A and B are shown apart, each in its own frame.
Chain A
Amino acid sequence: DTGVSQDPRHKITKRGQNVTFRCDPISEHNRLYWYRQTLGQGPEFLTYFQNEAQLEKSRLLSDRFSAERPKGSFSTLEIQRTEQGDSAMYLCASSPSPSLSSYNEQFFGPGTRLTVL
């Protein structure tokens, strides 16, 4: 069990560019979450997948944001036409299936820090 991994760990981009982040959950965790965290704030929920299905998406999420989990394993988060306000830490978390005792626990990755210049 290697934990949740995220790639890249840091990304610097210019305003208007597109960026894509990857999250690899703990193997066999069928639930996956994306969050955004800005300095001094708690994680803000963005979206949730159960297997390959995207079941929840925050109403705060702009249309410039899209996430996929095509085979129910890794997930990608893409931000199109980045803005300076998108600068934040993007966190991924995974959870096991409801049949396990730890079903309501999230295991977080180290995050991807995005800086938009």
Chain B
Amino acid sequence: GDSVTQMEGPVTLSEEAFLTINCTYTATGYPSLFWYVQYPGEGLQLLLKATKADDKGSNKGFEATYRKETTSFHLEKGSVQVSDSAVYFCALSPYNFNKFYFGSGTKLNVKP
């Protein structure tokens, strides 16, 4: 069945460091891919998305490219800030969006 695997955390970085959080998926057909973020004390919110192969989603300096050949959707940011400290979830949904599959989450700690 469909599933998402993302790198385990926590990931601890210094401010202005480069961030990569790996995400790979297993799915039939052509799913849409998402990154959600959960800041401390807040609910889940969409960070970025990509709906077809080679699409690049971007928001708030974060980027991820839908790579069908490697079944990956890695999250990157060139220079992290303390305010980026949060838990990041990779997710996929099949074409009809009748369900979503989430990874287990990666906690990011950014130190000043």
Contacts and interface: CB of A to CB of B under 8 A. Distances in A.
Contact of B99 (A41, A42, A48, A111): A48
A20 to B, nearest CB: 21
Contact of B98 (A56, A106, A111): A56
Given A105-B46, A108-B43, A109-B43, A45 B97 contact: no
B104 A106 contact: no
A90 to B, nearest CB: 12
**Number of contact residues on B: which range applies?**
20 to 34
A52 to B, nearest CB: 15
B98 A95 contact: no
Given A43-B44, A104-B51, A33 B100 contact: yes
**Which of A35, A93, A95, A108 has the most B CB atoms < 10 Å from its CB?**
A108
Contacts of B49: 104-105
Contacts, number: 53
Most buried by A among B44, B46, B102, B105: B44
B20 interface: no
Contacts of A93: 44
B71 interface: no
Interface in B1-28: 4
B73 interface: no
Interface in B54-112: 89, 91, 93, 97-105
A92 to B, nearest CB: 10
A31 B105 contact: no
A85 interface: no
Given A104-B49, A108-B45, A41 B98 contact: no
Interface of B: 4, 32, 43-46, 49, 51, 89, 91, 93, 97-105
Given A40-B105, A104-B32, 10 more contacts: A31-B97, A42-B4, A42-B89, A43-B102, A45-B102, A48-B98, A50-B98, A91-B44, A103-B97, A106-B44
